[in-house]
Amino acid sequence: MIRPPCWAIGLGRTGTISFCEALTLLGYDRARVAHNPRFEELRKLEGGADNGVTLFYKYLDYKFPDSKFVLLWRSLETWLRSCEYVSAKHPVKSLDEDTPIMRRMLIYETVGFDRAKFVAAYNRHHADVDRYFASRPNDLLKMNIVEEGDGWEKLCPFLGLSIPRSPFPYLHARFPDAGRTQMYHNYSGGD
């Protein structure tokens, strides 16, 4: 079965780890799917997600012309809360952390959490994706994994693939909701 290259181009904290695991469950080679890859890795991949992909989605579109793109999203307010939490938990601690500094500055125009800059980045990114794919709606899917529980029912038809028997992998949730808790535990090794 031929699987198109597939890239999640949502900002971080939108279900990117779940998305990468979903690709592997759909038969994408785990060695060729990366969460937050470095630019040098992109040419060897067939799928990926997070800021390492988001920054270069136009490059990926040109390099892999049959690609499918998925804009992972969540509501602005819950995304901001999640970004603030992660920025506090994983701050850039040194000027030697070139990759995180570069990614954060290119996307958010700040290294630490700044609500106004993150709001502007969110709006700017979504508008740019909408503009870029305006004449190619069949190449872009929008999914809200985190809040709406989008999963196989949206992703598989978009990719032209059958829905697997395994549940969609809702991973890395800070507070998994009651409806998805069991699926989360199935993949996280929780009890």
Share of the chain above pLDDT 70, in %: 90
Instruction: Please give the structure tokens belonging to residue 96.
Output: 């030697």
Task: Please classify residue 181 by burial: count the beta carbons closer than 10 Å to its beta carbon, then call 0-12 exposed, 13-18 middle and 19+ buried.
Answer: middle
Global pTM reads 0.90
User: Interhelix angle for 98-108 vs 115-132, to 10°?
Assistant: 70
Contact call for residues 116 and 123 (beta carbons, < 8 A): no
pLDDT digits (tens, 9 = 90+) for 150-168: 999 999 999 999 999 999 9
The CATH superfamily holding the domain 6-89+129-188 is: P-loop containing nucleotide triphosphate hydrolases (3.40.50.300)
